[in-house]
Amino acid sequence: MPREVADLLEARPLVKPKDVDLSKVDFDVDILIIGGGGAGMTAALWANYAGVNAGNILIVQKLRLGDSNSIMSQGGVQAADKSNDSPVLHYLDVMGGGHFTNNPKLARKLVMDGPMLIKWHEDLGVIYDKESDGTMVTIHGGGTCRKRMHSARDYTGLEIVRGLKDEVLNKNISILEFTSAVELLTDTNKRVVGALLYNMETQEYYVATAKSTVVTTGGFGRLHIQGFPTTNHYGATADGIVLAYRSGAKLRDLDSVQYHPTGAAYPEQIVGLLVTEKVRGLGAQPVNKNGDQFVYPREPRDVEASAIIRECYERNKGMETPTGMKGVWLDSPMIDILQGKGTIAKKLPAMLRQYKRFDIDMTKDPILVFPTLHFQNGGIIIGENAETTIRGLFAAGEVTGGTHGKNRLMGNSILEYSVFGRIVGINAAKHAKKAKIGKPTLGHVTRYEKMLKEAGIKTDRKAPILLPEYRGEKVLSRALDIF
Ligand SMILES: Cc1cc2nc3c(=O)[nH]c(=O)nc-3n(C[C@H](O)[C@H](O)[C@H](O)COP(=O)(O)OP(=O)(O)OC[C@H]3O[C@@H](n4cnc5c(N)ncnc54)[C@H](O)[C@@H]3O)c2cc1C
């Protein structure tokens, strides 16, 4: 795995077990959900539908409810619900996109349950783009054989999270904001029985015990792996995998990191922010400094991103910005030429605004792009019921590995948090109904420290880091120097 991830997995805990008083339990619930993005909120709702009282479900959220990668998602969500499509075709795309390294059982669940979850979103009031006859608008994403991407303009995540958040608030599910899980708790039978929480505003620690603990902490974009800029929100610091690994849970595919092919490379203020794949889905072409198209615009993301990096750094046919950032053109005016004037304004209003703020009109001028760190392909190993390899511990969403193998296709991540958020909610509820838990301890942390010592790892680094560090020497250099 990348050094940045290994450094955190081999870091020391934030708190010393001997300094923590676990005898006073502040929250005792049936289900503790760590992370309030799409996966966390979906899990809470389906646990509630499965019969767990709202007051017995606690969502612990590092930032405000919904502040997450989920709310930032733009392009759309895949689901095979059109008459010319089928979950089988979707499955082949998911497996092919992942180079057949995926867990086939998880991929199967993803595609089979997809249409049901889109229907659920609509029942919640999520407004997807529709044709005038009421059918869903669907378009292509990279690596897809059918047009199955459902969207709400280019702020799909904002619209879905609006629906989820409303439902969570209406159901009165308990929420602790600006509070992070800094360690899991285990009992003497090595079951996970809750988490140690840290209120980032008051700096108080809380003990939360639970019959089922669900990790939905999302990914690791803010680790800026290999010095890349990122599309991710500030809370994406790999906390979930750090906590789970320390408790003994198994991880997979962490060698694989998704660089989205098209991050903004200019202007400086938005370097790394996402230029959604929908821009290419609607017809924009990547071209080099000579105006030559050097790659098919809708390859799977890893293939497209590598082609852009090679064009810039091996073939030297990229553009260079005044600060030394390289990039290729994304010929966005092609969209209005191919699909009719006004298409960009109608279908990509957020993108148009992102560039208009800097006096760049993407309907008339191409925009400069370069790959940006986007998604954690691997993560905590789960089974079909979203259970981890440790009893009492469940996980869903970007923090898990297996569904996408070593490369995720566009639109399958919203789908993943929806499908597995539902599954984890239902199964965490089932588990909570019969589970008995022992006294909470930090025994696994003590064991982990011993293992670090035995392995000769000398470090004063601490994890989880909770928020990225942008001060002093660690300020990222704008231009990538790794090449
Ligand atoms: C800009 C952008 C655009 C995207 N566009 C698309 C798209 O069009 N289609 C698609 O399918 N996917 C897209 N994705 C990917 C997709 O949005 C995410 O993979 C997905 O939303 C992850 O959902 P999640 O609930 O697992 O994690 P998140 O939505 O990231 O939620 C995790 C939450 O857990 C919180 N948290 C983290 N650590 C802790 C802790 N220790 N204690 C408490 N809380 C914690 C975080 O702050 C966060 O709120 C996009 C991602 C980005 C960044």
pLDDT of 474? 54
Is the C-beta atom of 218 inside 6 A of ligand 1?
A: yes
pLDDT at residue 238, as a whole number: 98
| Nearest CA owner, ligand 1 atom 48 | 68
Residue 235: C-alpha distances to residues 183, 222, 238, 274 (Å): 16, 7, 9, 17
3-class SS of residue 50: coil
398 contacts 413 by C-beta, under 8 angstroms: yes
Q: What percent of the chain shows pLDDT beyond 70?
A: 97
Mean pLDDT of 9-26: 95
Angle (CA) 255-261-266 rounded to 5° is 125
Does position 476 have pLDDT exceeding 60, yes or no? no
Closest residue by Cα to atom 9, ligand 1, is 411
421 lines ligand 1 (CB under 6 A): no
> What is the CA 273 to chain-centroid distance, rounded?
15
Give the residue extent of every domain in the chain. Answer: 3-256+377-443, 260-373
Probe residue for ligand 1, chosen from 15, 59, 70, 216 as the CB with the greatest number of ligand atoms within 8 Å = 70
Residue 233 confidence (pLDDT): 97
66 lines ligand 1 (CB under 6 A): no
* Ligand 1 and 417: CB distance under 6 A: yes
Q: What is the mean pLDDT of the chain?
A: 95
Give the pLDDT confidence score for residue 198 in this predicted structure: 97
Q: Which amino acid is at 379?
A: G
Give CA angle at 123 (121, 92), nearest 5°: 40
Q: How far, in Å, CA of 277 to CA of 253, rounded? A: 24
Q: Please state which of the four CATH numbers 3.40.50.720, 3.10.50.40, 3.40.50.10470, 3.90.700.10 is assigned to the domain occupying 260-373.
A: 3.90.700.10
3 is catalytic: no
Across 248-399, the runs of DSSP E, i.e. the strands, are: 251-252, 257-264, 285-287, 319-320, 326-331, 367-376, 379-381, 393-395
Which protein residue's CA is at the shortest distance from atom 42 of ligand 1?
Answer: 180
Distance CA 480, CA 115 (A): 41
pLDDT, one tens digit per residue, over 37-72 is: 999 999 999 999 999 999 999 999 999 999 999 999
More confident residue, 472 or 164: 164
Residues 472-480, mean pLDDT to the nearest whole number: 51
Q: Is 106 in the pocket of ligand 1 (CB under 6 A)?
A: no
Given the residues 140, 280, 408, 444, the one annotated as active site = 280
Residue 483 pLDDT grade (very low, low, confident, very high; cuts 50, 70, 90): very low
CA 301 to chain centre: 15
Q: Retrieve residue 453's tokens.
A: 């010592």
> Residue written as tokens 């010393």?
16
Residue whose CA lies nearest to ligand 1 atom number 10: 411
Residue whose structure tokens are 């998602």: 73
pLDDT at 473 (0 to 100): 59
CA angle at 183 for the pair 169 and 17, rounded to the nearest 5°: 140
212-221, pLDDT tens digit by residue? 999 999 999 9
Q: Which of 260, 422, 431, 444 is labelled catalytic? A: 260
Average pLDDT over residues 272-299: 95
- Which range is least confidently modeled, 90-104, 267-281, 465-479? 465-479
Task: Kindly tell me if the per-residue pLDDT of 319 is higher than 70.
Answer: yes
Task: For residue 475, name the pLDDT band (cuts at 50, 70, 90).
Answer: low
Q: Is residue 141 in contact with ligand 1, taking CB distance under 6 Å?
A: no
- Dihedral, CA atoms, 170, 173, 177, 183, nearest 10 degrees? -160
CA 213 / ligand 1 centre spacing (Å): 19
> Does residue 432 contact residue 52 with C-beta atoms inside 8 Å?
yes
Please tell me the distance from the alpha carbon of residue 166 to that of residue 474, in angstroms, as a whole number. 39
Going by pLDDT thresholds of 50, 70 and 90, the confidence category of residue 482 is very low
The CATH number of the structural domain formed by 3-256+377-443 is 3.50.50.60
Instruction: State the pLDDT at residue 300.
Output: 87
Please say if the pLDDT value at position 434 is more than 60.
yes
| DSSP classification of residue 191 | -
Active site annotation includes 90: no
Q: Which atom of ligand 1 is nearest to the CA of 230?
A: 53
Residues 258 and 376 sit within 8 Å (Cβ to Cβ): yes
Q: Evaluate if residue 479 carries a pLDDT over 60.
A: no
- Residue 323 has a pLDDT of 84
Q: Which position has the token pair 């390294």? A: 101
Q: What confidence tier does 480 reach under pLDDT thresholds 50, 70, 90?
A: very low
* Amino acid at position 392, single letter: G
Look-up: residue for tokens 């208009």?
356
Question: Rounded to an integer, what distance in angstroms lies between the CA atom of residue 355 and that of residue 350?
Answer: 9
* Residues whose CB is less than 8 angstroms from the CB of residue 165 and which lie 6 or more positions away in sequence, other chains included: 41, 65, 66
Q: Which residue has the tokens 């603990």?
A: 213
* Identical fold, 3-256+377-443 and 260-373: no
What's the rounded Cα separation, in Å, for the pair 479 and 88? 43
What are the φ and ψ backbone dihedral angles of 339, each rounded to 5 degrees? -110, 0
**Distance from the CA of 294 to the center of ligand 1, in angstroms?**
31
Q: Is 181 in the pocket of ligand 1 (CB under 6 A)?
A: yes
pLDDT in tens, 167-215: 999 999 999 999 999 999 999 999 999 999 999 999 999 999 999 999 9
